[in-house]
Amino acid sequence: MTPDLFAAGPSPAERAAELRAQLHHHAHRYYTLDDPEIPDAEYDRLFRELQNIEAAHPGLLTSDSPTQRVGGRVLDAFSPVRHRVPMLSINTETDTEPSGARNFDTRVRRALGLTEADAPVDYVAELKFDGLAMSLRYEAGVLVQAATRGDGEVGEEVTTNVRTIQQVPLRLPADAPPVLEVRGEVYMRRDDFDALNDKQRAKIAAGAKGEKTFVNPRNAAAGAVRQLDSGIAAQRPLSFFAYGLGEITPPDQGGPAFETHFELLMQLKAWGFPVAEQTVLCSGADALVAYHQRIGASRDQLPYDIDGVVYKVNSLALQRQLGFVTREPRWAVAHKYPAQEQLTTVLAIDVQVGRTGKLTP
């Protein structure tokens, strides 16, 4: 009789590790790549199996377990977090017309001492998301802290809430550096925002106390991130896009040696972070103008809100050469579009009187 007929199955620790790896993989395929490999029912089965193992063996529960996305922890207050690398704001180009892109290119070329005879400057053009800036800190490949921008120097720790965002990796691949801070935007898709408000209206109609609808996706996202009860945050449909770095292990200590911003973004994508597909390389002012016009024309068709685009000098060496002025990078600019919200005058309000005499405008 062969020995493997009596071979024991994996231990609870081994099975839990296996399930965590599978669930991370399938969540990334579903939420980030929009290319699921298994049916929802199979994912739910694996998830419940992991939950049962962790319930039976509490010592196997880890901070990067997919089961920690469901929230449930209630805080008394948010703890302050001092950013190791400040989260600085980007200067806004006041000219909202396409010519604003040329203004930025002119300033960059002048600062670099370039003439018309010199080659065009290479840029990365990105969307300017209308959400909440966030810094995600990973140590040894595990998400250990999430913090809001705050004043740029000190933000608020919102780790338990950010763990509920399915697009935020809880664990990174083995080739990620020992320390990695990813900067990005927490936002809410328009369809998710509409569905959330539909639920809120249903609760209000059913007589629920303290419920309200939300004004816009940005306010809804910011309010969800700053919930003291992560269980409430877990019920809000939040998403995430990565667009930069904070602190990272330097190359002489085993970290990556990036030469361009675009290379950096593609590596973040390889590590499992969502990067907007509209992020492109542009050479010179004409390409920036074309990008601004193209995104402006398709802005209403995007599944999420933006209030402009961002241009960044692609070469990291040139970024260092350009440096900062009044704590804003010379190598980047936010090029907004004309505002879509305008002031209006309310001409009349209809008031409905309920059976109990309650007035509802």
**60-119 pLDDT, tens digit each:** 888 778 887 765 555 567 899 999 999 988 999 988 888 999 999 999 999 999 999 999
In the prediction, which pLDDT does 200 show?
92
The interaxial angle of helices 12-27 and 40-56, nearest 10 deg, is: 150
Residue percentage of the chain with pLDDT more than 70: 91
> What per-residue confidence (pLDDT) applies to 77?
79
Alpha-carbon distances, residue 117 vs 10, 77, 111, 159, 331 (angstroms): 67, 57, 15, 50, 21
What is the pTM assigned to this prediction?
0.82
Give the mean pLDDT of 168-174: 95
Average pLDDT for 38-51: 85
Name the catalytic one among 128, 209, 212, 336: 128
pLDDT tens-digit readout, 258-273: 999 999 999 999 999 9
Domains in the chain, ordered, with CATH? 8-67 (1.10.287.610), 92-130+263-336 (3.30.1490.70)
Report pLDDT for 3: 52
The verdict on whether 128 is a catalytic residue reads yes
Confidence of residue 1 (pLDDT cuts 50, 70, 90): very low
Q: Return the structure tokens found at 120.
A: 């065009």
